[in-house]
């Protein structure tokens, strides 16, 4: 088991928001997914836990992440809500625990040391943040005793996050890309469709291959079917050439889906 909770193979995870069937989680694991991402506010941690229990892969071979929601970011609530998350997940620890958003009860000087304490206690292997800009990441890195493992952000060909990516690569943390297919918007982007036709693959696979091919990026698509789970995972076998990458990065359109 690596010291880095995101040093998993393959470098593509499963976003679980909206998944309410434990068998879907178990199927994803058995198909080959090793990084599972959930959150307190998704209200499906118990589903994810049952899926892990049903799968044919040992817990220690999985990287499991959850997020503390904004109303539980006071220090005492961080500890209490994380214990509740562990109970719902049916595990003794999570590999990665995120601050879900720096809003509401978030106070960097109070919240982040509470995450450090959970890591010291062994309930959390690594600490992450989510929906942080580069300035907020820098502040978190300054306050945390633990190395910052990841910043989970919206990232896809229509919202490419160049500045955050440069910061992640400079400071050695991972960008975990949620909504990597822009809620399906990438399917009709001409540049993406052209690359997909060139390689005889789907636009989804092109988008995922483009993200996964970047240093310090792990996309976490979600899927409602085994066929799409396999299709998304197969994107890691797609090798985009420099012309493909240039075409995607030249897209003159920017759409941020989540505020």
Catalytic residues: 42
Peptide bond into 149 cis (omega under 30): no
DSSP calls for the chain: --SSTT--SSS--EE-TT---HHHHHHHHHHT--EEE--GGGT-HHHHHHHHHHSSS-GGG-EEEEEE-GGG-SHHHHHHHHHHHHHHHT-S-BSEEEE--S-TT--HHHHHHHHHHHHHHTSBS-EEEES--HHHHHHHHHH-SSPEEEEEEE-BTTB--HHHHHHHHHHT-EEEEESTTGGGGGGG-HHHHHHHHHHT--HHHHHHHHHHTSTTEEE----SSHHHHHHHHHGGG----HHHHHHHHT---------
């Amino acid at each position: 088991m690596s010291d880095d909770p995101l040093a998993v193979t393959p470098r593509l995870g499963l976003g679980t928001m909206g998944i309410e069937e434990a068998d879907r989680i178990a199927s994803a694991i058995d198909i080959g997914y090793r990084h599972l991402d959930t959150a307190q506010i998704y209200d499906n941690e118990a589903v994810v836990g049952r899926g892990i229990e049903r799968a044919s892969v040992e817990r220690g071979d999985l990287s499991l992440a959850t997020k503390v929601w904004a109303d539980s970011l006071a220090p005492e609530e961080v500890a209490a809500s994380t214990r509740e998350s562990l109970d719902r997940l049916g595990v003794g620890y999570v590999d990665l625990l995120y601050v879900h958003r720096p809003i509401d009860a978030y106070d960097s000087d109070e919240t982040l040391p509470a995450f450090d304490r959970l890591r010291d206690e062994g309930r959390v292997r690594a600490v992450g943040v989510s929906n942080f800009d580069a300035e907020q990441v820098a502040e978190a890195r300054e306050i945390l005793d633990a190395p910052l493992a990841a910043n989970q952000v919206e990232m896809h060909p229509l919202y490419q996050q160049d500045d955050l990516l440069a910061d992640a690569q400079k400071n050695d943390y991972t960008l975990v890309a949620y909504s990597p297919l822009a809620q399906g918007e990438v399917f009709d982007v001409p540049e993406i469709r052209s690359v997909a036709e060139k390689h005889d693959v789907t636009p989804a696979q092109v988008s995922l291959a483009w993200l996964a091919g970047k240093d310090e990026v792990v996309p976490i698509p979600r899927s409602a079917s085994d066929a799409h789970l396999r299709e998304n995972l197969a994107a890691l076998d797609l090798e985009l050439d420099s012309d493909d990458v240039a075409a995607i990065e030249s897209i003159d359109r920017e759409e941020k889906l989540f505020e």
